[in-house]
Chain A
Amino acid sequence: MDYKYIEQLLERYWECQTTLEEEAILRKFFSQEDIPASLLPYRDIFLAEEDMIAEHLSEDFDKKLMARIESSQETESAQVVSISWAQRLAPFYRAAAVVAIVLSIGMAAQQGFESHRGDAQPQLTEVSSEGDTLQLFTDMPEALPKTEAVLTVPATDSLIVQ
């Protein structure tokens, strides 16, 4: 048998000029039993590489890998749920914020009013029922706008404004 083709391929193999297909031909050639003595030394590299192709992971690798991927998926899902809950509660937060603002404004307004009223107590005036027109708050404090409360009352008994 003429091994010239194999020898040529081998020469090109050492020079990294062979294609993947030509390297497959060499691999197949050296996997057979009948190798001429001149080429025998080179068989070991192809046999060694065949051995290396057969190296595999341990059998429980897939199980361990999928367990890790599933746990990472669960972590991702948990994050999605927590975001969803936050979104669901958002309207309540907004409503609570509105209530808080309204209460704050109300309290502030009331406090302001109370403080003004505390400065000076308007005097209650007993008015007689004689006239048609009565003037209340005769001693109106300066801080409050001076207003004249004008009431028209029927000519009945005496009236006490509280």
Chain B
Amino acid sequence: MRAIDFHNDVLPLKDKVFRLALRITMDRVEAEDITQETLVRAWERRGEWSEIENMEAWVLTIARRLALDQIQHSKMQSEKEAQIVNYQLSVVNSPASPDEQLDQRQRVEAVRRLIDQLPEVQRTIIELRDIEGLRYDEIANITELSETQVKVYLHRARKKIKENLTRS
């Protein structure tokens, strides 16, 4: 088996780590800090690399735990969620006359905000499956859920997005 190298095997995961952290914290600065912390921790635990079967899932698991700790300790979190929800309601549910149809760019932005509005576990699963293209077993591993639970959460998330798309 080829030896794992930080620059070739760990560092290239940085953007995936960043996007997962961003999806959980919904804050670019916090997500970047979490990404750095995740990769430093992965480096510090390099003695374990030879035993790791799936480096991507391992690194993303570290990232998710750090991101969850971050939002639990962030006193501003509830206020931020409230701001996002309020903004979301004002954009997506505002009655639009034919003349005020949102153009495609705005509609895409509205979907992104809708995803941001989902509960954390649903946002995380959408991120890992639909953005990063991970298998269900990998997502179950990272989120510490069963594959069935992962599919249930993903189904709820997609259903909510679908309802909003067909309604707007």
Q: Which A residues contact B (CB, under 8 angstroms)?
A: 13-16, 20, 23-24, 41-42, 44-45, 47-49, 51-53, 55-58, 61-62, 64-65, 68-69, 72
Q: Are B18 and A55 in contact (CB under 8 A)?
A: yes
The 10 A-B residue pairs with the shortest CB-CB distance, nearest first, are A48-B111, A16-B151, A41-B165, A47-B108, A44-B107, A44-B111, A48-B108, A48-B112, A57-B18, A16-B155
Report if A52-B19 is in contact (Cβ < 8 Å); known contacts: A14-B162, A20-B133, A69-B40: yes
Give the interface size bracket for B toward A. Answer: 35 or more
With a cutoff of 8 Å between Cβ atoms, the chain B residues found around residue A24 in the complex are 133
Q: Across the two chains, which residue of chain B brings its CB closest to A50?
A: B108
Q: Are A68 and B40 in contact (CB under 8 A)?
A: yes
Q: Which B residues contact A (CB, under 8 angstroms)?
A: 6, 11, 14-15, 18-19, 22, 32, 35-36, 39-40, 43-44, 104, 107-112, 115, 127, 130-131, 133, 135, 151, 154-155, 158-159, 161-162, 165-166, 168
Q: Are B22 and A61 in contact (CB under 8 A)?
A: no
Q: Are A69 and B43 in contact (CB under 8 A)?
A: yes
With a cutoff of 8 Å between Cβ atoms, the chain A residues found around residue B162 in the complex are 14, 42, 45
Q: How far is the CB of B31 from chain A (nearest CB, A)?
A: 9
Report if A44-B166 is in contact (Cβ < 8 Å); known contacts: A49-B131, A61-B35: no
The number of inter-chain residue pairs (CB within 8 angstroms) is 82
What are some 17 contacts across the A-B interface (CB < 8 A)? Answer: A20-B133, A23-B130, A41-B168, A42-B165, A44-B104, A45-B161, A45-B165, A48-B112, A51-B108, A52-B115, A52-B127, A55-B15, A55-B18, A57-B15, A62-B14, A65-B36, A72-B40
> Per DSSP, are chain A's interface residues mostly helix, strand or loop, or mixed?
helix
Report if A20-B135 is in contact (Cβ < 8 Å); known contacts: A61-B14, A65-B39: yes
> Per DSSP, are chain B's interface residues mostly helix, strand or loop, or mixed?
helix
Given the complex of chains A and B, what is the CA–CA distance between A61 and B130 in angstroms?
Answer: 25
With a cutoff of 8 Å between Cβ atoms, the chain A residues found around residue B112 in the complex are 48, 51-52
Q: Are B155 and A55 in contact (CB under 8 A)?
A: no
Q: Across the two chains, which residue of chain A brings its CB closest to B152?
A: A16
Q: Across the two chains, which residue of chain B brings its CB closest to A57?
A: B18
Q: Across the two chains, which residue of chain B brings its CB closest to A68?
A: B40
Given the complex of chains A and B, what is the CA–CA distance between A20 and B40 in angstroms?
Answer: 31
With a cutoff of 8 Å between Cβ atoms, the chain A residues found around residue B133 in the complex are 20, 23-24
Q: Are A57 and B14 in contact (CB under 8 A)?
A: yes
